[in-house]
Amino acid sequence: ANQQTVPRLLAGKKVIVTAGGTIERIDPVRYITNDSSGKMGFAIAEVAKEMGAEVHLVHAHTDVAPPAGINTIAVQSADDMYKAVLSLWEDSDLVVKAAAVADYRPASPAASKMKKSGETMKLELVKTVDILEQLGKAKTSQFLIGFAAETNDVERYAKEKLQRKNCDLLVANDVTVEGAGFRSDTNIVQVFDKHGLVEQMPVLTKHEVAKRLLTIASARMQGVLS
């Protein structure tokens, strides 16, 4: 990690960070997941802690180990992640939803290993809970940050998601661009609020993205616009 000291902008704040890609079971040995590495969420959790926050990290499947010294809850599915976040939600100040949550899950996961039979098979999927959307509805004083990974029309989709999920900030990245996205150590993001673009960041390490993002969030949580 990074040895530089960071201003304690989040001292006394309770922060929930979600990270990684959820795992949606097909049967006991098979599942559906996605390309999320967990690195962006882990960087946010680390920096929030450096800034003095009480950090709770809820993570699903990741490529790397979670940072040491942070309260961590490991989960699998979107449903598990929702329950874990709700258990921490009430007195939280800031929630950062960096996890890549599956949009659909198998309708009826098999209790024992499925056997092969015909030449084709169909897997029925049903929608998962949209955690961020539910939090957006339940929000009282929490500051909510959503993420969006897009391949096209980044700004349009980012604004639409920010509104639909009642987020305070939405961090969008174009995953088709070199140096951005899922498994990379760097990211190129645009931060939006309900009025539009707040900050367009150059290519930065995920740690630096986390620092800048949490600096913007902490200023806004104190009612200072930046």
Helix 39-50, helix 206-221: angle, nearest 10: 50
Q: Which does 146 bind (CB under 5 to 8 A by kind): ligand CTP, Ca ion, none?
A: ligand CTP
- 192 secondary structure, DSSP code: E
At residue 67's C-alpha, the angle toward residues 101 and 3, to 5°, is: 130
Q: Cα–Cα distance between 84 and 66 in angstroms, integer? A: 16
Residues 141-200 that bind ligand CTP (CB under 6 A): 146-149, 161
Answer yes or no: 34 catalytic: yes
Contact call for residue 35 and Ca ion (CB under 5 A): no
| 147 annotated to a ligand binding site | yes
Asked if 173 and 189 touch (Cβ cutoff 8 Å), the reply is: yes
Smallest gap from residue 118 Cβ to ligand CTP (A) = 31
Of positions 94, 131, 154, 221, contacts ligand CTP by CB under 6 A:
131
Of positions 35, 63, 103, 185, contacts Ca ion by CB under 5 A:
103
Q: Which does 161 bind (CB under 5 to 8 A by kind): ligand CTP, Ca ion, none?
A: ligand CTP
Instruction: Name the nearest CA neighbour of 1 among 39, 38, 37, 46.
Output: 46
Complex with ligand CTP: residue 105 or 207, whichever CB lies closer:
105
Complex with ligand CTP: residue 70 or 175, whichever CB lies closer:
175
With the C-alpha atoms ordered 66, 166, 79, 24, is the resulting torsion angle positive or negative? negative
Size of the site for ligand CTP (CB under 6 A): 14
Strand partners, 169: 145
Q: How many helices (H) and strands (E) in the chain? A: 5, 14
Of positions 16, 132, 154, 169, contacts ligand CTP by CB under 6 A:
132
Asked if 93 and 55 touch (Cβ cutoff 8 Å), the reply is: no
Q: Which residues are catalytic?
A: 34
In the annotated binding site for CTP, the residues are: 103, 113, 147, 161, 165
Contact set with Ca ion (CB under 5 A): 103
Positions in the binding site for ligand CTP (CB under 6 A): 78, 97, 99, 101, 103, 128, 130-132, 146-149, 161
